[in-house]
Amino acid sequence: MNSNPIVWFEIYVDDLARATTFYETVLDIKLEELPAPVEHLKMMAFPASMESPGASGALCKMEGMKCGTGAGTIVYFRCEDCGVESSRITDAGGKIQMPKSPIGQYGFISLGVDTEGNVFGLHSQK
């Protein structure tokens, strides 16, 4: 079995363009439109490579799927220094839920709330 059991994630949003701009700004990345496998679904995918480990996923807008319903699941994005990405959250239209905090030998995390009300995490070793 693969050591990383997570293979995909979806973050549901109400405003796909707004959420795309938010994540592109905070993470300093470029999302790309992904052809949807079902009707009434629009997707903007995070960068991914079949050659590198880890999970990828997409922002999704779909009829009947509500976003921002709480923090039942939190996706953490790997960063060089999560304090840098955290500093971009409010300027991009989101809120800081928890500033950069140490988690012992595992590095540091911070939590943010995106423009759609979804809680997400940032993780770094420094």
Among 20-34, 39-53, 106-120, which range has the highest average pLDDT? 20-34
Query: pLDDT by residue (tens digit) across 62-98?
Result: 777 777 766 567 889 989 999 999 999 999 999 999 9
- Domain assignment present for residue 3? The answer is no
CATH number at residue 12: 3.10.180.10
State which residues form the domain around 75.
8-124
Q: Domains in the chain: how many in total? A: 1
% pLDDT > 90, the chain: 53
In the prediction, which pLDDT does 71 show?
Answer: 54
The pLDDT of 107-111, averaged and rounded, is 91
DSSP E strands in the chain: the ranges are: 8-12, 32-34, 41-45, 56-62, 75-78, 95-102, 108-113, 119-124
DSSP one-letter code for 25: H
- Residue 67 contacts residue 118 (beta carbons within 8 Å): yes
Residue 114 has pLDDT above 60, yes or no: yes
Higher local confidence (pLDDT), 89 or 105: 89
- What is each CA distance from 13 to 21, 34, 45, in whole angstroms? 12, 15, 13
Residue 36 within a domain: yes
Give the H or E element holding residue 16: helix 16-27
Q: What pLDDT is attached to residue 87?
A: 97
Bridge partner list, 40: none
101 lies in some domain: yes
Name the band, by pLDDT with cuts 50, 70 and 90, for residue 1: very low
pLDDT value of position 44: 95
